[in-house]
Every structure is written in structure tokens, then in C-alpha cells.
Structure 1
């Protein structure tokens, strides 16, 4: 294989009550990576589209190529040469796992070109290094579902232990990205280092309830459990019209509504595509009344993760 074009999806992390431990993949948007072999050893970036010139072209500083270099180093492969084109199809600082999609598309493409020496699970620590480069923290709640698909739970980071849980077929996500930016590092900086025992107990109950609701296809339990008493109240202040948008989403049938990742994107879960589409329209209209443009995406939970678009 001399050329491969791969796609990796956007993701919703935290999923209300599951800060840094829950995440799931959606069908769109997502990033695309083109990788072509070249004679000279090493990985170079020949072009990046869609970033407005903001991302570094240095292979040692870009999430898409850092993970590829780490994989080659792990495999002891000093001869491989590759040229990368990254197509950014989602805005930076969107709360939709933008850096994760780039990292996953890159490491997945390289692994495919090399004949799949590692499983997707084995690729996860390398993909996490892309997150470290992008936002300073190698968390797995975005890269995990982007790489493995489905709804992912991060049980532990030391040691890394992740697993997937089944979700109802009729569960749909509405992901609305307003035209504002929230820096992930800033969104983490404002969080408190300690929480009250009362809030910790409440949050643990909601985490357990959400997992049980998803596995049992109990939509009412899912709805009751999509409550974040620790992170959302603090981060909501970074998103204009957050409370108004959340209220209108629930009023139009959403099971729950919260911040996607660090924001400013907001997500909902709904039963059925029709409801999810109505919710998205209502959320966009609410943002629009405040003079904020937005994009909306509706999909079931993406169970596939990354995929090959072309190869030769």
C-alpha cells in the first residue's frame, strides 16, 4: 500500500455526569488524513486544510504526526517515510474532539498502511499522546471512542483500562456547535480541585444510572441520570445562552442536554431521529436569537470509529 485516505469521527466527551470517563463517537463531522509513502525516512506534513493556518506544520508538534512518530518508534521502524495531508473538518476548540479526530485518523492510517501490526486497543496509548500535544493532558474520553467506536467508559488511567457498553439502537445524538471558541486548557483551569461529598455521591449515582439506562434501554433512567452537578455549573458560564438552549432542548423532547467536552458545543440524547432533528433546530434557533450562528449534526451512536476512504 502506497497511499491511504482515512476518516476519524468527532466525539462527545464527559456525556454530562461522566467527566473524563465517558465518551461516544458520532457519524459527523470528522477529520480526514491522507498518507502517502515517500522515499526519505520520517513523517512530514505537506499540507493542512481547514485550520486557517493555526496548526503547526512541524511533525514533532502536530497531533496528527506525533502519534505516527511514536508508533514508528514503538515498532522500531526507522525506514518508513510518509507524507501527510490533514483535512480539518471541524473548528478548533469546538468541544467535539477535534484534536482527537486528527490523532486517531493519523495513527489509524499508518497502522493500516503497515499491515495492522497493532489492534485498535493497542493503538489507544499512542492516540492519547496526540491529546497531550494538543491540550496538555493525555485523556482517553475523546480518542477512545474516536478510535474504537461506540460508547466508551474509562475505568482507570493508571493503568489504562477502557471498555465499551451497548447503547439503544434508537438513541440519537444532536450535536450543536455555536460559532464561538472555548480553549480546552482554560476550561480545565477553571474547575475546582475538590468537590463536596454531597456532590460526589450525587454524581456517582448519575454515572451508575446512565450506564444502567443505556445497557437496559431505559430511556427514562437515561434522562434522569444526565445530570452533572460538578463540572457543568462551572463551565456553563463560558457558553452564551447555555441555560436557554438547554431548556428549549428539553422542551422539544430531548432526554438530556449538556456540554460536549470542554464546550462550546452542546449535545443532547433523544429517542428517535425525528425528535433529535427537531431538538437541533430549536437549539439553533435559540442561539440565533442571541446573534450566534451554529451548525447542527444528528446521528446515532457511531459504532465503527475510523474508516478507510481510499487506498492503493
Structure 2
């Protein structure tokens, strides 16, 4: 392929009990990127819309990720005689907590891989996408780029070596995401965390993570609901998000299986069984957040089992 356009979906990371290891892929929210072969060798970003981002390859999440896969390809296979131009059309706001940087990084490696003739699997692309994520957050992490690339729910079981497990979503599972128009930097959200946790809380969190994974495999919504609890991270971060407790409680009172902070925030997510409950939950969350006078967006989405794709 010499010219492709792709959809790079938003993601929800952590999912309450799965801090830094769990994520899911959304269907209705995402960026678009265009890739073209060029006679000039190397990676070049030619257009960016929807956000003020650097065009310099070494300072742009997509640029760093694209260069990582291109350099690795030339080491593994043959030198590339052409270049690749990239357009980035951001529709996921930066700092929103729903994987804006991950969409750029994952989209970049997916697109370059297609142009190169798909030498790497989607799972192998995660390594390169993590290089881009490091530009945004200061560390290579995979909890957003993995569901963006693979779709569905994903578990990063370990990093050394990278061990990824994809989990299909139950058919009736919907996500509601409320995105307040405030920015919380990942570095600031990490700064409020404590380096040590109690054994009691650790045991409870491990149980919830195991329960969530079991509930997804069993398609047991009651187990999923009981497991969507975070006793370690949420208590420390929720103060960064205005009216978080009120929004979460409104979601639960209207039938949500669970609710929490998406990624590092400020977005708040709720998981629901069925579209009708998701619509009721979205309305309740919306009515609650209107009282803050802070602008916001709200989205309802099925879980996207495909991940990044050509459109």
C-alpha cells in the first residue's frame, strides 16, 4: 500500500482495579491518520489538525513511534528506499485521560507497518508504540497502546518480557465516558500517588483484578460489577476531578456496573450492561456535571474488539 487512512480509537486504562495493566478499546471516539509513501527517505509529519503538537519527529509521539518501527525494520530486514509522510487529525483531546497519546503512537506504528507490507503482528507493534508513549508520560507503558492496537480488553501481564493477553468483551457491555474540559497531566496524577500500600489494600485489589478478568471471561456481569473497585489509586486521584464522587454515585444509582477514573483523568467512565442503561447513566452523569459549570463532552460506546483499522 502507498496511501492509507486509519482510525485510531480512544481507550480507557486502569479500569479501577487494573492500574497500569488493564485497558479497553472504544468504538465511537478516535483520531484519524493518513500515511503516504514519499520519494524522500525517512519519516515526515506534514499536517496536524485538532491540536497544537510539534512537527519535529523526535518531539512528537507519533514521530518517535514511527521512527522506532522504521529503524527496527531496516535492522531486521532491508534498508527502505522510500520515505513515509504522516498526517495527524486529532479528535481525542490531549490530556483527556482516554488515550490521546496512545492513539497517536499506536496509529503511527500500525500505519508504517502497513506501508512496509505488514512485517510485524499487532502484538509486536506494541513495543514500538511504547517508545512514543514515553515522550508523553516519561515512561514506556502499554496499558493504552495495547487495547488501541488489539481491541477489546487487554491485560499487560508483564514487561520483561512483554506479555499481553487479549480478552473479548461481553456482547452487552457498553462504556460511558464523561470528559471535563480540564487537563490533568499524567505526571501530576502520578505525583499524588504513594510509593507504599498496605497489605490489606493490596490483597483486596488483587482480588478485584482477578474477579474482573474472570467476570469478563465468564461474561458474568455481577462479578464484573463487584470487581470494579479501586482501593489504592482512586482515593488519591479523585480530588483532582471536580464533582467526581457525585458523578460516580449518579452513575451507580442509575444502573452502572461500576465507574471510576479513566487513565490519569480527568475523564470519568462507567461500564453498563445494555445500551438503554448506558443512555440512562449518561444522562445522569451529564445532569450531575452540569452543576459544575465546567464544559464537558459525553460519549457512549460499545467496546471495540478490532482496535486500530484502515478506513
Asked whether the equivalents of residues 284 and 293 of structure 1 are also in contact (C-alpha less than 8 Å), the reply is no
* Per-residue deviation, 1:78: 4.3
Asked whether the equivalents of residues 48 and 87 of structure 1 are also in contact (C-alpha less than 8 Å), the reply is yes
Which residue is equivalent to 1:29?
29
Asked whether the equivalents of residues 126 and 145 of structure 2 are also in contact (C-alpha less than 8 Å), the reply is yes
Which residue is equivalent to 1:17?
17
Q: How does 1:242-253 map to 2 (within 5 A)?
A: 242-253=244-255
Asked whether the equivalents of residues 36 and 84 of structure 1 are also in contact (C-alpha less than 8 Å), the reply is yes
Which residue is equivalent to 2:183?
181
Asked whether the equivalents of residues 6 and 308 of structure 1 are also in contact (C-alpha less than 8 Å), the reply is yes
Asked whether the equivalents of residues 169 and 305 of structure 2 are also in contact (C-alpha less than 8 Å), the reply is no
Deviations 1:174-197 (A, max 9, x none): 111111111011111211111000
Which residue is equivalent to 1:8?
8
Residues of 2 paired with 1:149 and 1:115: CA distance? Answer: 21
Residues of 1 paired with 2:23 and 2:271: CA distance? Answer: 13
Q: How does 1:57-136 map to 2 (within 5 A)?
A: 57-76=55-74, 77-136=79-138
SS in 1 for 2:57: coil
Q: How does 1:185-264 map to 2 (within 5 A)?
A: 185-264=187-266
Residues of 1 paired with 2:175 and 2:279: CA distance? Answer: 9
Unaligned runs of 5+ in 2: none
SS in 2 for 1:15: coil
* Per-residue deviation, 1:28: 2.3
Aligned residues: 307
SS in 2 for 1:108: helix
Unaligned runs of 5+ in 1: none
Residues of 1 paired with 2:269 and 2:29: CA distance? Answer: 14
Residues of 2 paired with 1:61 and 1:290: CA distance? Answer: 35
* Per-residue deviation, 1:80: 2.8
Which residue is equivalent to 2:147?
145
SS in 2 for 1:60: helix
Moved more, 223-232 or 159-168: 159-168
TM-score, scaled relative to structure 2:
0.97
Moved more, 133-142 or 71-80: 71-80
Asked whether the equivalents of residues 103 and 130 of structure 1 are also in contact (C-alpha less than 8 Å), the reply is yes
Residues of 2 paired with 1:113 and 1:46: CA distance? Answer: 16
